[in-house]
Amino acid sequence: MISVSKAAELVDHVGDAVKSSETVVIRDRMIDAFNTISEDRQWIHGAGAAPRIVPANLLISLIPRLLQNCIEVSVFSRCLTVKYENIRFKSPVVAGDTVGLSVVVTDVRTRFDNTFVTATVTLFNVADEKELLIAEVTDCYEAP
C-alpha cells in the first residue's frame, strides 16, 4: 500500500505499482443484487446461465473499494472520482472468481486546493493472475 499524508505527496510515487491486499469473491448473491439494481436482463448474467458471466459494470463498481486498499491519503476533506477512461475488458469473469486490483500511479497534478491523481488500474483473477479489466482512473482530493 502507498500511504501518504497529503495527496500531493503521491507525486513521489508516480510509476510505483502496488497490489491490493484485499480480494473480492464474486458470488451469485452479489450478481443478483447488482442485476436487481441495474435491471440488467441479459441472460448471460442470469442465475440459469452456465457459466454465469459477471456484468461488466459490476466489475467497474469494485474499483473504488479495492483502490482504497492500495492508496491511502490521510488528510483531505473529500475525494471524488472524476474520470474513468480507456476501460478495456480483457477476459470474462464468472461467478465464483476471486478478483484483486493492481495500481500504477501515473500522474499527480495540483490545481488550487485540489490534487488530481491518475492511476492505471488492472482487475485481475487471483487464481491465474489473468488481466480482466484495465482502466485509467482520476480522483480529485480536496484540501481540508
Over pLDDT 70: what percentage of the chain? 98
User: Residue 111 falls within a domain, yes or no?
Assistant: yes
User: Residue 38 falls within a domain, yes or no?
Assistant: no
- For 37, other C-beta atoms within 10 Å of its C-beta total 11
User: Residue 116 falls within a domain, yes or no?
Assistant: yes
Site of grid cell 492508496: 71
Whether pTM exceeds 0.85: yes
Q: In CATH, what number is assigned to the domain containing residue 117?
A: 3.10.129.10
132 by Cβ neighbours in 10 Å (0-12 / 13-18 / 19+) ranks as buried
Site of grid cell 490521510: 74
User: Residue 104 falls within a domain, yes or no?
Assistant: yes
| Buried-state track 18-33, b at ≥16 Cβ within 10 A, e below 16 | bbbeeebebeeebbee
User: Residue 51 falls within a domain, yes or no?
Assistant: no
User: Residue 17 falls within a domain, yes or no?
Assistant: yes
Give the separation between CA 93 and CA 99, rounded to whole angstroms.
9
Banded model confidence at residue 54, pLDDT cuts 50, 70, 90: confident
Count of domains forming the chain: 1
User: Residue 30 falls within a domain, yes or no?
Assistant: no
Structural domain range at position 129: 2-25+63-142
Residues paired with 17 in a beta bridge: 104
User: pLDDT for 100-121, tens place per residue?
Assistant: 999 999 999 999 989 999 999 9
For residue 49, is pLDDT > 80?
Answer: no
User: Residue 34 falls within a domain, yes or no?
Assistant: no
Under a CB-based contact definition with an 8 Å cutoff, are residues 100 and 31 in contact? no
